[in-house]
Structure 1
Amino acid sequence: MTRSLVIAPQWIGDAVMTEPLMRRLAARGERLTVGAVPWVAPVYRAMPQVGEVIEFPFQHGGLQLRERRRIAKEAEGKFDAAYVLPNSLKSALLPFLASIPKRVGYLGEARVGLLTHRLKNPKGKPPMVAFYSALAGEAGVEGDRPQLQLPKEEISAALERAHLPSGGFYVFAPGAEFGPAKRWPAIHYAELAKTLPLPVVLLGSGKERELCEEIAQEAGGGRCINLAGKTSLPDAFALIASAKAMISNDSGLMHVAAAFGVPQVALFGSSSPEHTPPLNDHATVVWLRDDAAYQPPLDCAPCFQRDCPLGHTRCLYDITPERVRSLLQ
């Protein structure tokens, strides 16, 4: 059996989109160990194909060479192959320093000497699931869809901790780590919450707690339960998996909901559903760039900017709460 080390991306959404790759590698008999930063590690623990998850003590930015050398020394002789999912130079260092014989990844930034099997980077912004699945070296990756699983007892325990019944609430994930140009306005989330027949659970990181509190206060009447920054990531996953439906921006939690097959409405603005769609039969995407009835056309989208370069963010502001309410299953 091939012992394989997978170097994971550092974003939750990207991590979810690597699940089909994990499935392909495991199906051909590879025993998978995933190295991931702590805030991404729970994603891989929801993938039955992954045998072990090692939490890397890395942060965004910085080479952190001393830590990479230490972990590489511990990994020496333990793996036959490595799959380097991020495109950065530093992500390819650990498998190289550990002398793992087969090291697979995209060319990325100055990595020719670090990888033994190099794929050319596709032009433009390809669908990310197929981008990651292609590292398996197999055909037919275009139809891959991520799937996550949690044990029933973990879901029940999370619901009990949150004092919530399964299917008895909606989830809103109003944040987006990349920036404001990906966030539907807080006032729209609040207005939507007022019209729903069930309570709304607000999920996000601690950095998004203030945003979620703004929504809860504006919605009033105790309609929203603000759990942003108050739940562990596994508990947030369990609540999403148990929701009647989820409404979110293009974010990591959007991909989590898709991988659990939860009914969802995904709101796109500055980014593109052609690049990172929620791959879920129960998902509805709203993107005004693709709406022929929306005038004047949004020729500026997708801009992929953190803040709207034109200062209006029409791509999100003009998606009305009434429209989103009509799309909920």
Structure 2
Amino acid sequence: MRILFVTSTRIGDAVLSTGLLDHLLRAHPGARITVACGPVAEGVFARMPGRERTIVVAKRPWSLHWPVLWGQVATTFWDLVVDLRGSALGWMVPARRRAVMRGGRRPGHRLGHIAEVLRLDPPPRPVAWFAPEDSAAVDALLPTGPILALGPTANWHRKVWPADRFAALARALTAPDGPLAGARPVLLGGPGAEERAMAAPLIAALPDAVDLVGKLALPEAAALLSRAGLFVGNDSGLMHLSAAAGAPTLGLFGPTPADEYGPVGRAARAVVAPDGQMTGVSVEAALAAARDLLPMQVAA
């Protein structure tokens, strides 16, 4: 069986789509899947079983990336085309069956919108794929003992929690009487100067933290997060990857809707600013949510 799976240009939405892919892999053992995604999301699928090919769709002026993608897939007869971009492409390639996501904003979590494409209820939870070599790579970078993973960056500056609050929360969590007593903070973020600049104040505030901002590929980040005692981060692709990897995940939300993009995993929770501003999330509220979240690991 050959499946074409067209998914997001963004890491967060791409991670949320992995639950649908995991469902397809279980429902169709041996299926050969071609994934079409944006450049920054490519690593989400790098270790996916059953992946025959990844087509990186780089945006072009006047939406010319769509004809380019059509030229790469139109000569294959697909058993199933899943198009989460809601584009015309899903209707313009030869296929036995098509599942095209409808566009537009609507109530409910994005995960549910994705699952509706194949009429799945409840929605399958996202997964994070990584290999033994990814685990080995991060093990060489980490200290022994528990770790507190922190994601101080985002794709929009208004989604970034102040560095002094991240630092205060990290100290409270890892204090001798904290829920992660003795854990070592590990700072994570994407590549590039902008992400580095966002993380710089927290790097300075936590000199004993392990600084891995911009230093890991996505499968390596997933491997690291799978062994984290807790992840705390802004609404970002890294937050979704953490929840998919199975880490207890605390997402911090201000101007973006947690009811649509909150983290989904075995132990995941959002802290939402009452005023829609990241400064509205207090250290006390985040600490209380973290204390409530950590016992969920046992029951999840």
- State whether TM-score is above 0.5: yes
| Cα separation, 1, equivalents of 2:187 and 2:116 | 35
Distance 1:133 1:61, change over 3 A: farther
Report if aligned partners of 1:19, 1:47 keep a CA contact under 8 Å in 2. no
Q: How does 1:1-329 map to 2 (within 5 A)?
A: 2-29=1-28, 30-48=31-49, 50-59=50-59, 62-65=62-65, 67-72=68-73, 75-87=74-86, 89=87, 92-93=88-89, 95=90, 98-108=93-103, 124-136=106-118, 138-142=119-123, 144-160=124-140, 163-165=141-143, 168-177=146-155, 179-195=156-172, 196=174, 197-205=182-190, 206=192, 207-219=194-206, 222-289=207-274, 298=275, 301=276, 313=277, 316-326=278-288, 327-328=290-291, 329=294
SS in 2 for 1:274: helix
Residue by residue over 1:201-247, the C-alpha shift from the partner in whole angstroms, topping out at 9 and shown as x without a partner, is 2111222111212111123xx22232222222222222222222110
Report if aligned partners of 1:3, 1:31 keep a CA contact under 8 Å in 2. yes
Distance 1:61 1:106, change over 3 A: farther
Report if aligned partners of 1:193, 1:224 keep a CA contact under 8 Å in 2. no
Once the 2 structures are TM-superposed, how far is the Cα of residue 57 of structure 1 from its aligned partner? 4.4
Report if aligned partners of 1:44, 1:53 keep a CA contact under 8 Å in 2. no
| Cα separation, 2, equivalents of 1:60 and 1:172 | 34
Residue by residue over 1:20-61, the C-alpha shift from the partner in whole angstroms, topping out at 9 and shown as x without a partner, is 21133233325422122332122123444x432413241376
| Cα separation, 1, equivalents of 2:114 and 2:121 | 12
Distance 1:246 1:139, change over 3 A: closer
**Amino acid of the structure 2 residue aligned with 1:150:** F
Q: May I ask how many residue pairs the two structures share in their alignment? A: 278
**Gaps in structure 1 of 5+ consecutive residues:** 109-120, 290-297, 302-312
Report if aligned partners of 2:240, 2:263 keep a CA contact under 8 Å in 1. yes
Report if aligned partners of 1:167, 1:243 keep a CA contact under 8 Å in 2. no
Distance 1:168 1:60, change over 3 A: farther
**Gaps in structure 2 of 5+ consecutive residues:** 175-181, 295-300
Provide TM-score, normalisation by structure 1. Answer: 0.75
Structure with max Cα Rg: 1
Structure 1, 25-34 or 184-193: larger mean CA deviation:
25-34
| Cα separation, 1, equivalents of 2:154 and 2:255 | 11
Once the 2 structures are TM-superposed, how far is the Cα of residue 78 of structure 1 from its aligned partner? 4.4
Once the 2 structures are TM-superposed, how far is the Cα of residue 268 of structure 1 from its aligned partner? 1.3
Once the 2 structures are TM-superposed, how far is the Cα of residue 192 of structure 1 from its aligned partner? 2.5
Report if aligned partners of 1:190, 1:216 keep a CA contact under 8 Å in 2. no
SS in 2 for 1:256: helix
Once the 2 structures are TM-superposed, how far is the Cα of residue 63 of structure 1 from its aligned partner? 1.6
**Amino acid of the structure 1 residue aligned with 2:137:** A
- Give the fraction of aligned pairs with identical amino acids, expressed as a percent: 27
Distance 1:225 1:165, change over 3 A: closer
Report if aligned partners of 1:31, 1:51 keep a CA contact under 8 Å in 2. yes
Report if aligned partners of 1:249, 1:267 keep a CA contact under 8 Å in 2. yes
Distance 1:280 1:24, change over 3 A: closer
**Amino acid of the structure 1 residue aligned with 2:250:** V
